[in-house]
């Protein structure tokens, strides 16, 4: 179940089928956290209002980490489109070949670079430099995203109340 939690730890929205929830739709409740919780975490009081059956701060931390993972996924989405999984899967062998070519190795000793040079008419050295540049660009962006996630997680774990958890995710 997907929920929206406000700074007071109250559930201000619940969505069974919502793939995404726009937190700005809940601005009347102040800054909020949005994420998925197991059904057993939510109960109802005698008036039928949704309440948490567990620790609100623990749920808030979990929601904040889910939001952080979504932020990281959004940061990486464009880059992943530029570098499809099939390309990323072959980088280890491509990098070995590229580094060998840059070090003066023979193109005949490669598989990818030799095939790419034949298919495109490009120089093996140019292909090698492109392979290395793409891998470095992707690795740099990935490292930035991982550092972002790590910093956010540290702030979330350090937060001592729900308002601080929300602040940790920029709410």
On whether the CB atoms of residues 34 and 3 are closer than 8 A, the answer is: yes
pLDDT of residue 17: 66
**d(Cα 51, Cα 11) in Å, to the nearest integer?**
6
pLDDT of the residue at 43: 86
pTM of the complete model: 0.81
Q: Residue 16 corresponds to which tokens in the numbers above? A: 């069974």
- What is the full DSSP assignment across 16-59? SS-S---GGGGGGG-SEEEEE--GGGEEE-TTS-EEESS-HHHH
C-alpha span between 141 and 120 (Å, rounded): 28
The pLDDT score that the predictor gives to residue 159 is 97
- For residue 102, the model assigns a pLDDT of 97
Q: What is the pLDDT of residue 18?
A: 62
Q: From CA 62, how far away is CA 158, in angstroms rounded? A: 13
Report DSSP state, residue 12.
E
Name residues of the chain where pLDDT drops below 70: 17-20
pLDDT confidence of residue 103: 97
pLDDT digits (tens, 9 = 90+) for 84-96: 888 889 989 999 9
- Residue range 50-83, pLDDT digits in tens: 888 889 999 999 999 999 999 999 889 988 888 8
């Amino acid at each position: 179940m997907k929920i929206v939690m406000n700074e007071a730890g109250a559930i201000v929205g619940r969505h069974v089928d919502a793939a995404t929830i726009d937190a700005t739709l809940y601005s009347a409740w102040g800054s909020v956290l949005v994420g998925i919780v197991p059904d057993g975490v939510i109960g109802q009081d005698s008036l039928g209002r949704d309440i948490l059956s567990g620790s609100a701060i623990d749920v808030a931390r979990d929601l904040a980490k889910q939001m952080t993972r979504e932020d990281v996924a959004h940061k990486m989405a464009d880059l992943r489109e530029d570098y499809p999984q099939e390309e990323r899967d072959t980088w280890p062998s491509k990098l070995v070949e590229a580094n060998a070519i840059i070090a003066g190795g023979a193109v005949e000793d490669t598989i990818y670079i030799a095939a790419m040079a034949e298919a495109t008419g490009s120089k093996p050295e140019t292909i090698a430099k492109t392979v290395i540049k793409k891998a470095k660009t992707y690795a740099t962006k990935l490292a930035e995203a991982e550092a972002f996630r790590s910093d956010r997680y540290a702030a979330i774990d350090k937060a001592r109340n729900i308002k601080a958890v929300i602040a940790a995710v920029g709410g």
